[in-house]
Chain A
Amino acid sequence: GESVGLHLPTLSVQEGDNSIINCAYSNSASDYFIWYKQESGKGPQFIIDIRSNMDKRQGQRVTVLLNKTVKHLSLQIAATQPGDSAVYFCAEKKDGNKLVFGAGTILRVKS
């Protein structure tokens, strides 16, 4: 069935380096994607979204890239900080406003 998955379950980066978190999706008809950050014991926090008519979108220290040819989504975090340590989820819109979430990637920032 349709699914959204992540390539790496855990990513460790040095403070100050850039982080790249990847996500693959299988539904070529999906037209809306979101990245969330979830800290321990809290609900997911919206980071950035992108629609399928765009290839790239930038926020504060974050960039989302969408490659529809290979159905790949990535989140880039510039100058990663200890406060960026969390689980990151990609989500794909399915059927109206229902989201399908990936399993998540743990980002660990080493000081």
Chain B
Amino acid sequence: SQTIHQWPATLVQPVGSPLSLECTVEGTSNPNLYWYRQAAGRGLQLLFYSVGIGQISSEVPQNLSASRPQDRQFILSSKKLLLSDSGFYLCAWSVQDNQPQHFGDGTRLSIL
């Protein structure tokens, strides 16, 4: 069966520091991959999605970037974190269009 892993589960970072969040999927090949951010008590906002290695689409302008160095690895990065980058970051995968996205358990990021 397919599984998705995100780490770390929680992270506290100072303003201006870099960020790297990792997501890996097991048990499937060539998945679509997604990064979302969820503000407290709110819905999910799509940040990036990828349909293949090296293919990244950005949904909103922001201080973050994403990369997909391997088929089942998706990384969310920042060179300099802002206070507004705080939130709950979720990675998801899907097989193809019109199939459900399956989520990891997220990373709670706090910026001090």
Interface with A: B12-20, B62-70, B71-79, B100-108, which one?
B100-108
Interface flags for B15-46 (1: CB within 8 Å of A; 0: not) read 00000000000000000100000000111111
- Residue A25 at the chain B interface, CB threshold 8 Å: no
A99 touches B103 (CB 8 A): no
Interface centre among B6, B44, B90, B101 (most CB of A within 10 A): B44
What does DSSP make chain A's interface, helix, strand, loop or mixed? Answer: strand
Q: Of all chain A residues, which has the CB nearest B99?
A: A97
Complex contacts, A46 vs chain B, CB 8 Å: 100-102
Complex contacts, B94 vs chain A, CB 8 Å: 97
B46 touches A99 (CB 8 A): yes
Complex contacts, B102 vs chain A, CB 8 Å: 46
Interface with B: A12-20, A62-70, A77-85, A100-108, which one?
A100-108
Lowest 8 CB-CB distances: which A-B pairs, in order? A43-B103, A101-B43, A97-B97, A101-B44, A46-B100, A103-B43, A43-B105, A32-B98
